Amino acid sequence: MSIFDDDRDQPSSGGMAYVDRGADGVRLVIRPDARPRDVIGAARALPDEVMFTGFTGTRHTLMVTFRPATAAVPADGESSTVAAGGSSGTLARTGGGWVPDTGLPVAPPVPVADRLMRLRARHARLPVAAFWVVAGGVVVSGPWDSRADAVGALTERDGSSVAYGTVGAAGVLTSRPAPDDMAFGRVVTAAVAALSDEDDMPVDANRDPVAKLTVEVARILVLAGLPVADTTGRGRPNGGVLLAPTRLPTPGVGVWWAAHVRMATHPGPADRYLAPLMATAVAGVLDAAGFTVVYSPHRGGVPLVTAGPTGTETVA
């Protein structure tokens, strides 16, 4: 049996749809033959801050009930202003809807609705940062969700590059830090923080060319996916590339390999040859990246990086 099969009498009130206020809340009453414009017109009379609680229906009427968001709706005839000294947490009726009763004077209505709508529309039109393909200072394709997608589009245009930022209405790109660049920067910062200089102090790129070269070597190792071993004594003995800034007799950055401490439980050829083999491999990676790598016989064949890819970090 449907709720609309009830034979209760049709409520009496003017209009095909109207709002009925009572002590138990607010009801939107919709009668048969009500047109959409009747319902819309009646709904506009509902207070702003109300919540839907349910509905009941008969053969002749549908009644949708509402209540204030945080308190009961005052019945007709109750005060429509906030009383001085009123209790906190109750609601009072004002021309703009329902407001908390804080015991403070209520400010007169301010016509800000139109301005808020304009501000909201302006906010909705704000451009979203993404990856773009740029050629000759002009955006040629995008937006792309990831750098990989943007790099894939580079093959279609010579001389193009990938940039991250927002594109305005005039098509001008405003650059912003890319999320993957910031994530990579955090990893490099952590790797450099795990290094110690000759005096057991943290490596500071501003100290001298050797320290600057050490930071650049650490950055390339992170870019290559190679772990940098902690030499501060405060990290974890997980192994990785050992970087040793040195200034005498030959300035540069010594490169070696440290195995995980668990390797001590597996003595044998692997334990003896792992470090020189890995050091040679790392030196090859740095050489391929454009660093100048030499082998100092007086240091037992340890690879020594003496200059960076551009030559500006030359220390030897």
Query: Quick check: 285 pLDDT over 70?
Result: yes
Query: Quick check: 221 pLDDT over 90?
Result: yes
Shared domain for 233 and 300, answered yes or no, is yes
Shared domain for 303 and 185, answered yes or no, is yes
Lowest mean pLDDT segment, chosen from 24-38, 102-116, 260-274: 102-116
| pLDDT tens per residue, range 223-252 | 999 999 998 888 888 889 999 898 888 888
For residue 303, which of 257, 245, 239, 256 has the smallest C-alpha distance? Answer: 256
Q: Is 224 left (phi over 0), alpha (psi -120 to 50) or beta?
A: alpha
Residue 299 CA to residue 137 CA, distance in Å, equals 50
Higher pLDDT, 235 or 91: 235
Q: How confident is the prediction for the chain on average, in pLDDT?
A: 77
pTM of the model: 0.54
| pLDDT tens per residue, range 56-81 | 888 778 888 888 765 444 444 444 43
| Number of domains making up the chain | 3
Q: Is residue 118 part of a domain?
A: yes
Q: Is residue 86 part of a domain?
A: no
Range of the domain at 126: 112-176
pLDDT value of residue 290: 92
| pLDDT tens per residue, range 171-191 | 778 888 998 899 999 999 999
